Structure 1
Amino acid sequence: MPADPRLLSSEETRRYGRHLVLKGMGGAGQQALKRARVLVVGAGGLGSPVIAYLAGAGIGTLGIADHDTVSLSNLHRQVIHTGAGVGINKAQSAAAFAEALNPHVQLVPHEAAVTADNAEALLAQYDLVLDGTDNLATRRITAAAAAKLGLPLVSGAVSMFAGQVTVFAPGGPGFAALYPAAADDADLPSCEATGIIGPLTGVIGTLMAMEAVKLITGIGTPLVGRVLVYDGKDARFSEFAL
């Protein structure tokens, strides 16, 4: 009889040993991570630490959606990509990184933009979504599909020296509570126009990965209805309610 794919192999037991002895996580939490199907929308500045830490944590199936290609100006903050990968699709580049980090994770690269036409079918393949994209149009589409499917959505955003993270979940405030319909991409500063400090994306992206692990394992209190804000210049965290 073949081994139960939900159970941990001896190599996985060694790999995840620090999780297995962690009170509140243990074997049950690690098996929940292994069963999980998670989609990361955007393999850029925020997606890089998200993908790295979720792959390292042992997510069973990790989907990565990004239609863009790696460019030289990405590399100061998109740390899972390399100079040798310039010109390669980001989803493919990210999947190669994650595969090298943890071969026990099933990687599913989606080399296409998330649009109103494909979002629902794409998200329906997963249990949890993380959005690290840099434009409101894609964020709205992703959030609407997640809400329709009843999927929790971890959302992060960064600009210059500051960033924020929150969780939109069934029963909690929706995307419009944070980004009103009147808000437009033209009203928001772009990285190209205003710049962005590289490590900021690591701070916010890692917080997003932590929220995903909490949602999957049931550990702690997720940021549902709360927005955690980080000011990198003053090294301060603050929080407000939606």
Structure 2
Amino acid sequence: MSGLDLDAAALDRYSRQIIMDEIGVEGQAALCEASVLVVGAGGLGSPAIAYLAGAGVGRLGIVDDDVVERSNLHRQVIHTEADLDRPKVESARAFVAARAPEVTVETHETRLDRDAVAALVAEYDLVVDGSDNFATRFLLNDACTLADTPVSHGAVYRFEGQVTTVDGGAPCYRCLFEEAPPADAVPDCATAGVLGVLPGTIGTIQATEAIKLLLDYGESLAGRMIAYDAERLSFDEIPFAPNPDCPVCGADAVDSLDEISYTDRYGIETTDTPC
């Protein structure tokens, strides 16, 4: 898509945004020309994909190596019973095509790793991190921070959710969490469970962050983490400052992922690289 060269149906689809003074024709054009990489087409990625497509973001990349299972359906709202055993990226592509056919979807049916992450991030304006594991979360933080690509991180556990954004000179995820907790400290949702509606709340906040950043409007969560407690229905804001010794965004930060050696808990040990 280029500018607002849209057909009548698409113009009607986005009309409630276009009439907003804060968005207008120029803002909608910016969304139509933007690109977002969504990592994970599960509980967090599903609402993010739905609302980014609904907003008219022109190009969506979707990364996931999993297939749809019945136990996903109570929270992964872009998939249905008819999609069981189908790759999530293909189910997501079909959902977007039915919702906003002018949006281009690029699927990456793979698990993100350090060999591919830098090149993939470089293809998009912004990243939504809907991953479900610390390895991917830290890897995305490092790649996006080094590339100066904004990334919205989300996480959920039982009744609790977290969201923060890393953007430009703001502190990165490692300034908040230097490394992952011990492996047995935070069980995954298959073990601990998760309230079905919870990822919808967190993923929608991530989509909101992405849209605001693409519009260059409002205040992002850079330097702040929102902690959501669905049991008490409360939000707490946790500000955090840059860590001057952060190996990724600090004064002596590395220049590339090639200089990083990860520990078992995804902390960083820097390595000397040949001249």
Larger Rg belongs to: 2
Give the secondary structure class of the aligned counterpart of 1:211: helix
How is 1:195-206 mapped onto 2 (pairs within 5 angstroms)?
195-206=193-204
- RMSD value, Cα: 1.2
- Normalising by structure 2, what TM-score? 0.84
Shift of 1:95: 1.0
Query: What code does the residue aligned with 2:237 have?
Result: E
Query: What code does the residue aligned with 1:238 have?
Result: D
Q: Which runs of 5+ in 2 are unaligned?
A: 241-275
In structure 2, the residue matched to 1:94 is 92
In structure 1, the residue matched to 2:208 is 210
Query: What code does the residue aligned with 1:82 have?
Result: T
Number of residue pairs matched? 239
| 8 Å contact kept, 1:135–1:185 | no
Task: Report the Cα distance in structure 2 between the residues aligned to 1:65 and 1:10, rounded to whole angstroms.
Answer: 29
Give the secondary structure class of the aligned counterpart of 1:198: coil
How is 1:1-80 mapped onto 2 (pairs within 5 angstroms)?
5-11=2-8, 12-80=10-78
Once the two structures are superposed, residues 50-74 of structure 1 have per-residue CA deviations (whole angstroms, 9 ceiling, x without a partner) of 0000001000100000011111110
Determine whether 1:122 maps to 2:120. Answer: yes
By relative contact order (CA 8 Å, sep 6+), the higher-ranking structure is 1
Once the two structures are superposed, residues 199-234 of structure 1 have per-residue CA deviations (whole angstroms, 9 ceiling, x without a partner) of 111111101000000000012101000011111111
| 8 Å contact kept, 1:56–1:102 | yes
Task: Report the Cα distance in structure 2 between the residues aligned to 1:61 and 1:72, rounded to whole angstroms.
Answer: 28
Task: Report the Cα distance in structure 2 between the residues aligned to 1:120 and 1:77, rounded to whole angstroms.
Answer: 30
Task: Report the Cα distance in structure 1 between the residues aligned to 2:227 and 2:180, rounded to whole angstroms.
Answer: 22
| 8 Å contact kept, 1:137–1:185 | no
Which stretch has the larger CA shift, 179-188 or 163-172? 179-188
Shift of 1:185: 4.1
Query: What code does the residue aligned with 1:161 have?
Result: F
| 8 Å contact kept, 2:4–2:25 | no
In structure 2, the residue matched to 1:178 is 176
Shift of 1:83: 1.1
Give the secondary structure class of the aligned counterpart of 2:38: strand
Q: Percent identity?
A: 46
Query: What code does the residue aligned with 1:194 have?
Result: A
Once the two structures are superposed, residues 68-120 of structure 1 have per-residue CA deviations (whole angstroms, 9 ceiling, x without a partner) of 11111101000100111111111111111011100010000110110011101
Higher share in helix: 1
- Normalising by structure 1, what TM-score? 0.95
In structure 1, the residue matched to 2:272 is none
Shift of 1:23: 2.0
Q: Which runs of 5+ in 1 are unaligned?
A: none
